[in-house]
Structure 1
């Protein structure tokens, strides 16, 4: 029998190691991969042949059979491999990106003033930079040589684009770019309803925006009041004339079959509470918790009136979304801003009252007969309403370096109501820090505290007979409601004397609210954004009602007292993962994975010692996680 033997020797180098392998396929694939990485085309040429010698038992050689590949001396193969690797490495080094530094300035086209905070981005990438207080920027990017498009954006201005050609020079100085004011707002960048910054022209739904300067110029004491007349199609109505009274905001109609018709409110990405708990019966003038926000801290507001935001925020946003963005620090020296203002309010019109008289000038009763001598009809509105005055002071300090920006603000507001005896006072404090950890990680946090107090005058209602307005509307105006020499208030009607309600009844509310959030933003890869947000919103609202003994109100001669407290805690934990890839210059895709966890806890305590309730009653309600 004969035996066959084949001599195969292969030598190659990889990573500085000398080895042997029984097959030539690995080396060929390795060459092909290196060539593709370097952008070259490799043609495989069969250079060698091999012959297999069959030897019999006597050592005689049989005819040779050609093989597809052959391997000669290992040193010769090693030399060829090193030469090919050197060529590929030279090509790969030539194709590596270069670290470019682009500098320039962004100016206002009309005035020539610098625009601090404008963004400069390389189109088709996530590489960008922001301008400093002088409007200058320095953008560092690793790019290959070629022609690129720079995109300049600023809130309230049209987006501008400029082409720049990058070559061997690593530092490129560009001419100043002038941005024009965007009157129609089609280039404005919004995030509500999309989750990522998107130009308004690219959206398929309508989004209304309110600039922070409009909020500052408004004399409204709360955010929801400031929205009145600034959003097309929105119904913003005040439910009372009290300075602390609530506001009704309707974006998609005044009623709903299930749930609430109030929109979803979001501040810096955190869903906040805007309940209107009526802890004491004030006759419909319950407070909105948006009254705790300082309008001077707001940079802008985005409002979605349709159901487009439901795709991002779920069924909670069926009635619309009001997303509030607060101010943040900017690169530059400290900037101090102080604002003070004064305002006055008065009743625009009053209700007509019955002051009928006969031809002799005598006042008539409801039957048309003359009143007894010495009696007359009074307009009680002269004793209920009065001109109100208010003042507000606001102080803010902001600035920072390239890596750290800060914004500190405080405000005080004091405002009287058009009903004598009503008053509202609010004190705000806020701190925001933005820290750039690395080129791909940033951390920001905000803490704010608000304390609001209000002095109330009850308006009455269907189940309360101690309201000032109900006493005026349903009571006879045939007697003087003011107190006599002994300090006693007369009452000839079935409800309370409105002047006595204003002067003797003591109804008050106070709220302490804390809000905080921290967010971590990561961009580990080009186009990949990972954002985590943790927020907390908690407040304690206390309300007291006191009616002294000896009042003239029917059924309340022994007095009345009530104290109610509500504690509410709401936490939000959001994780958003977004990947954006640019297929073509004007074609990109966005992928998003989000998880939201929300927990809400409410605890209420009501005590009514004047009504014979000892110790009070407590109600506990715990929210569910979403």
Structure 2
């Protein structure tokens, strides 16, 4: 449980006093042909507030598809001349009001009246950013900050993880795939790699608390360039449905706000909060299959001859380019055979529920979800039969048949209380039960590079380069 006492920030709205004189002449007549000017009329009218009935000075009324328009004067009246004859669409806009449109028919040398009643509407502005030193306007921040609203991302694209929400959304932010392993976190880099030997992970802050999102290499070793398997980071355990917004700090000066750990950038995640009003419920569920990510060749490495008839090691790239011809026929690859292949089809299931509400003085958000995901790696049918026979016909556990899986159950509860005009109390709680198994992914490289005419301990001299394990010569 984490308690955070945050000062309430009052954002006064600057109310501009009505202009003393506003032009009512057309803004422009550019783009009209001679015939359009000859057959034209006048549009006049008045713009008023829907709730008070008072005039709305400064409202901009424009003719769609042209550059004609006018601003309402102190009495809310406007006049647009030289409007082309025929059906025309007028639209009125003003900051703080919802836009409105209407269609009128203009006659040659005639005059038509179009009055508008517009409704006040709050506009969502992104001018204030929460940093380690408090709320600041964007123009006052020395760092490059990008803001993402999670609700808009969930609507526009299928999202199953936090990595999906960030992929391709912010300039300078890159996410690297994890070979499709279920439960493993993608590597996140902001403005490229800073080091080939040291971690390049950005600092992750969730509701004001730092979390460890290290995606370390598996037992096979690895570097920032290549690795043999990945461990899960903290962001993998987060449910995208719980996230409200992201702030990505890309400037190197972020280290002055968050310390030296922020030298690779900062990702600030804010989870959802309750809003005043009646309880709002949200139920969701999803499911699908996970196919393996590629179509494998029969074999990658074989002997052949070049154009001069000399024996060469012929790889697929050289064979396609016509630089060599394979003379040892490879007709079988266990990785493509359904009986012996370690690749199958995985599946994913997730269900969850959320409720939020409360009064202005006390607001709450409670959510929970259940997720089961099974990767596409599976023990081949031939191996299942062999191992079961060795064990006296015993049935193999599912975690041995499917070595890559993720089981997760999570609960989140957030509460916000207004203690006074200058003090708020925010409480964030998250409880998770997660079990995942992420095997090494070296078999993909071995399958592609294995030499088909030599056994597993010849040629390369290493079990990482087996030959007959993946392809054989016929």
TM-score after normalising by structure 1: 0.43
Corresponding residue for residue 417 of structure 2: 435
Structure 2 residue runs of 5 or longer lacking an equivalent are 1-8, 16-93, 98-117, 222-227, 305-311, 315-325, 379-401, 470-474
Within 5 Å, which residues of 2 pair with 1:398-417? 398-417=356-375
1:436 positional shift: 2.1
The structure 2 residue matched to 1:122, chosen from 6, 9, 12, is 12
| 1:315 and 2:260 are equivalent in the alignment | yes
1:256 positional shift: 2.6
Once residues 410 and 292 of structure 1 are traced to their aligned partners in structure 2, the CA distance between those partners, rounded to angstroms, is: 13
1:431 positional shift: 0.7
Once residues 193 and 257 of structure 1 are traced to their aligned partners in structure 2, the CA distance between those partners, rounded to angstroms, is: 29
Corresponding residue for residue 198 of structure 1: 136
Within 5 Å, which residues of 2 pair with 1:8-407? 121-123=11-13, 160=96, 177-180=120-123, 187-193=125-131, 195-200=133-138, 203-217=141-155, 219-256=158-195, 260-277=199-216, 280-281=219-220, 283-354=228-299, 376-378=331-333, 380-382=335-337, 383-407=341-365
- Summarize deviations over 1:556-581 as a string: whole Å, max 9, x none: xxxxxxxxxxxxxxxxxxxxxxxxxx
Q: Highest Rg: 1 or 2?
A: 1
The structure 2 residue matched to 1:452, chosen from 417, 426, 434, is 434
Once residues 135 and 259 of structure 2 are traced to their aligned partners in structure 1, the CA distance between those partners, rounded to angstroms, is: 19
- What is the SS of the residue equivalent to 1:317? helix
Distance 1:384-1:259 versus aligned 2 partners, 3 A rule: closer
TM-score after normalising by structure 2: 0.56
Once residues 399 and 390 of structure 1 are traced to their aligned partners in structure 2, the CA distance between those partners, rounded to angstroms, is: 31
Corresponding residue for residue 495 of structure 1: 463
Contact 1:209 1:300 in 2 (8 A): yes
Once residues 95 and 294 of structure 2 are traced to their aligned partners in structure 1, the CA distance between those partners, rounded to angstroms, is: 48
Within 5 Å, which residues of 2 pair with 1:491-530? 495=463
Contact 1:246 1:287 in 2 (8 A): yes
Distance 1:284-1:298 versus aligned 2 partners, 3 A rule: same
Instruction: Count residues in correspondence.
Output: 309
Distance 1:448-1:194 versus aligned 2 partners, 3 A rule: closer
Once residues 470 and 230 of structure 1 are traced to their aligned partners in structure 2, the CA distance between those partners, rounded to angstroms, is: 31
Distance 1:497-1:415 versus aligned 2 partners, 3 A rule: farther
- What is the SS of the residue equivalent to 2:274? coil
- Higher RCO structure (Cα 8 Å, ≥6 apart): 2
